[in-house]
Structure 1
């Protein structure tokens, strides 16, 4: 059986949207879903900082999971864990070894930037699995056009992230490598494309890959500009290990793209 997509749910509208998107993705990939609820409630809930977390019984959780699985056209395995969110998630991750972790992102106007950053940081740092963040309101359709943001520096994917190579191949989507350069520098994409190729991400799809250079002082904004120009429906970013572990992760390009883009973002952790 192919590796599943593990979808995190707190039963909010944003999580429901992420589940529908993941189901469309799973249908394209011909892979099952694991729908996980951590019984500490909302991963993204600002109330988690106030102690006002709502409590659900086991029966209420089972009913909520069943309601969300009903009507899906792909196989779904429900899962419930208890304890601190990240630790509980990791136990289920190790059991199922998913191709991707999928979570929903509420409207940015309703969600503190720091909370998105903290959740993403914890999952990327502790699991090193590819993390797909789906904004609220995203249409549940498998993407046909992707952009992959890359600089000129070589990288190697973390071992759990290498499954994404098969995901990119199975999607059969148009991929555009976007390289952002400062205004005074060349916007040639040759080195960026080579770094992506060397990491193994173009295996089987290289003949259809395009590239686009963008000049911008703000890398995150340049990535968004390149994604718009390529009509992208999903943005892939490289989450370098030093940024994920560093205290200034909230200033990293990965975090900025996750926080502010209106497109789904797939973050790929690196080994270096």
Structure 2
């Protein structure tokens, strides 16, 4: 969701107090929000051009490679194409610290495609900030049982392997102070149901090369699949529908429909 906000902020650079419109203006605004971008193209479609002064834009298309959110976190490829935009120009000019979503006169929607390589993922996992956020995510998804594990153990040497056919393997070590490390390996399939529900398929879990009993894995699976529902984001400013999820041996690709709600928008996404 943070990524969507970054691009929305860049798109708002379309409208300046004097009504100047340049693809390079948006490109510069987007680049300023990333640590580095290796390749970036921005195209703005608008007819007639003077509509931009009123905050109306027909379509914005962004495509590029090598988007570095931080020195450790990289997105291999990204494409974004919006439907027509309607921006409150008066509110934009006196925005202050107001969230970017409050500047929309109408909901903003469009298509998003992301590609992340196995190398990108494992590089990100070397970042302490990322592993800390993953620990918090595990606590939220699995509840009190996971929270006890997170408090007791430190996650060490996490590594992802993309196996193809929408299956992945996560390996890591759990280090308890003053005790031996526990080696954990989790292999699972991933799929999407009803465009909003991420599901883990036929997972297997090994701890120190010993399989975790199926009833325990089934209980964890039930808890996770109940909570991996993106429709819960609909209560926030952004709604997300996953149209494609593909995991091959080199990269993970996601195509999604995104809707950023205007302050008075009606909840329906489609």
- Provide TM-score, normalisation by structure 1: 0.27
Which of the pair is proportionally richer in strand? 2
Which of the pair is proportionally richer in helix? 1
Larger radius of gyration: 2
- Provide TM-score, normalisation by structure 2: 0.27
Q: Which has the higher contact order (CA 8 A, sep 6+)?
A: 1
